């Protein structure tokens, strides 16, 4: 299947980081999410119920990113992926989380992780 719904560039400020010093300050984070889903029905019916509401997906990412604290980007991305799968069990998904201007030697523009989740069968 090659159809997908995606949203890129979701940004929020939060206090994630491995060290306690990082967690005392806020930094900008950026998240992108892609959900693999058959869009044939949605393309025929023009109904959101036959697709994925990317407003909901964006809200999940911002909610988790701003109300919880994680040491690792991997844990943040995994929590976002799990919450999206709880809401939309069928699609496979990819969640990318980037920390903008991380405190690293060489002053990188960003660091990030990408997690993949396989499609879940509906009950």
Most distant CA pair in the chain: distance in Å? 52
User: Who wins on pLDDT, 78 or 25?
Assistant: 78
Answer yes or no: is pLDDT of 122 > 80: no
Q: How confident is the model at residue 1 (pLDDT cuts 50, 70, 90)?
A: low
CA dihedral 22, 24, 27, 31 (to 10 degrees): 80
- DSSP code for 29: E
pTM beyond cutoff 0.85: yes
Give the per-residue pLDDT at 70. Answer: 96
Percent of the chain exceeding pLDDT 90 equals: 81
> Could you read off the pLDDT of 15-73 as tens digits, one per residue?
999 988 888 989 999 999 999 999 999 999 999 999 999 999 999 999 999 999 999 99
**Which CATH number applies to 4-117: 1.10.486.10, 1.10.10.410, 3.40.50.10320, 3.30.1130.10?**
3.30.1130.10
CB atoms within 10 A of CB 34: 19
- The residue extents of the domains of the chain are 4-117
Bridge partner list, 31: 10, 97
């Amino acid at each position: 299947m090659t159809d997908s719904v995606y949203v890129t560039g979701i940004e929020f400020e939060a206090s994630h980081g491995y060290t306690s010093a990082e967690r005392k300050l806020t930094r900008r984070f950026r998240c992108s999410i892609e959900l693999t889903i058959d869009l044939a029905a949605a393309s025929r019916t023009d109904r959101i119920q036959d697709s994925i509401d990317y407003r909901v997906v964006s809200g999940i990412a911002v909610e988790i990113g701003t109300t919880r604290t994680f040491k690792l980007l991997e844990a943040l991305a995994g929590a976002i992926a799990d919450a999206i799968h709880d809401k939309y069990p069928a699609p496979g998904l990819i969640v990318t989380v980037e920390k903008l201007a991380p405190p690293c030697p060489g002053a990188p523009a960003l660091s990030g992780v990408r997690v993949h989740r396989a499609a879940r069968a509906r009950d």
